[in-house]
Amino acid sequence: MTGTDIAGLLDLAGIFVFAVSGALAAVRQRLDVVGVVVLAEMTALGGGIVRDLVIGAVPPAAFTSLGYVLVPPAAAALVFFWHPQVARIMPAVLLFDAAGLGLFCATGTLKALEYGLSPLHAALLGVITAIGGGILRDMMSGQIPAVLYDRELYAVPAMLGAAVVAVATAAGLHGAGVIAGAAVLAFVLRVLAMRYRWRAPLPRGVTGPPPPDPRDLRD
């Protein structure tokens, strides 16, 4: 198995766990089967579609790869029929979600660089690749996007991972090692934030608890 094959499998794994996240959000909002599938699709593919449209990689990869088409509905079906069991293993799902975040911010930045964007703009697009689907999920399910109150740091790890790829590439460093290092950095920071409940700082003088995390809500 080549490095490209491994990267492709990791990409599909990230799409799967993001789709599970979207489908679970739909279940919590008591949406029907159409809503479950739509939220799964948008969460898994939304960020990548936005990236590809911005850089002119059309049609987007989501519409040219059979795996991209089949994996989100498979995740939606899993959640639709067995959502209580899936919800019970959420800690494991969140670990894979953190891995997907790290992978997508790194590969999204690299693809933007390959299409000629500057390091700064490529890093921005890498962050959008990683968090864009989650923003669409929250907006479509009637929630404040979680990245706007960044509990347990979600956007910040993506920013750091994307920045590492952009800076390394600008310095002439390339290869799988750069992508892996950036992805691991984002993954570790995200896991530590979940473990120790880190969050982005509030404006000066603002106190009080953050908005409730939709994942904390139970029927």
| Range(s) of the domain holding residue 41 | 3-203
Q: What mean pLDDT do residues 45-51 have?
A: 94
- 210 located within any domain: no
| 98 pLDDT above the threshold of 50 | yes
**Domain for residue 178, yes or no?**
yes
Question: Considering its fold, how many domains does the chain have in total?
Answer: 1
99-116 pLDDT, tens digit per residue, is: 889 989 999 999 999 999
Question: Residue by residue, what is the 3-state secondary structure of the chain?
Answer: CCHHHHHHHHHHHHHHHHHHHHHHHHHHCCCCHHHHHHHHHHHHHHHHHHHHHHHCCCCCHHHCCHHHHHHHHHHHHHHHHHHHHHHHCHHHHHHHHHHHHHHHHHHHHHHHHHCCCCHHHHHHHHHHHHHHHHHHHHHHCCCCCHHHCCECCCHHHHHHHHHHHHHHHHCCCCCHHHHHHHHHHHHHHHHHHHHHCCECCCCCCCCCCCCCCHHHCCC
What is the pLDDT averaged over residues 158-182? 93
Name beta bridge partners: 199: 151
CA gyration radius, the chain: 17
Phi, then psi, of 2 in degrees rounded to 5? -80, 170
In a domain, 165, yes or no: yes
What confidence score (pLDDT) does residue 217 get? 44
pLDDT at 120: 96
Interatomic CA distance for residues 195 and 98, integer angstroms: 12
CB 161 within 8 A of CB 185: yes
Residue 87 lies in a domain: yes
Q: What is the pLDDT of residues 115-162, one digit of tens each?
A: 999 999 999 999 999 999 989 988 998 888 888 887 779 999 999 999
